[in-house]
Structure 1
Amino acid sequence: MTENLSKSAKKEIIKKIILDLHRGLSVEEAKEKFEKEIGSITSMEIAEIEQSLINDGLTPEEIKKFCNVHALLFESALKKAVIKEESPAHPVYLFKLENREVEKIIA
């Protein structure tokens, strides 16, 4: 897994893995390749990559046909990417922070 890949290089590698899946690469081999070369991905990145594949000529029907396979490929990476409530990017974190400020004002 390479941490130093640019976002565009990462997307190109994933696009190649997806296209290889569509050409017959097994999900296990694709997962192995993904873990080795990429390791993590967000749902937003997956959507961007799938849209890019459509822009490159793959039909939306072809993407839909392999949607479950794509999900299996990225399943473990997506589980790792879930934002936890303790993260400042999570809405519950902000909600709790706002509540603490309201409590200060009320007190």
Structure 2
Amino acid sequence: MVKGYDDAAWEASTELRKNWPKVFRTDPTIYNDIGQILDKEFSHLNCSHFECLGAGGFNICFRMNYTNDSAAIIRFPMPGGVMFPQEKVRNEFSVMQFLLEKPTGTD
């Protein structure tokens, strides 16, 4: 029996979703590239530690700690995990921006 295109696409997507966290954590080129992105973005700070925080159902997160006790986090949405990944990232950014602008200790 020949599989239909949808079946083949579904299998490929399932395989990608199953393996993508491992690829991010174990491929030294990708891991190094992510570290370089954060290092370049925050070049005025000195990195003290870089790590993969883990993968959830929809994202994988990396954190870079700096010697001044600050940190930066970068998140990558899972390919095929969400229907509209660009919209997802925009919405998450909007929430983060709101939280950044909201004074602490207010309701």
What TM-score comes out, normalization by structure 1 length? 0.24
The higher radius of gyration belongs to 1
Which structure's residues are more often strand, by fraction?
2
Structure with the bigger percentage of helix: 1
The answer to which structure, 1 or 2, has the higher relative contact order (CA under 8 A, 6+ apart) is 1
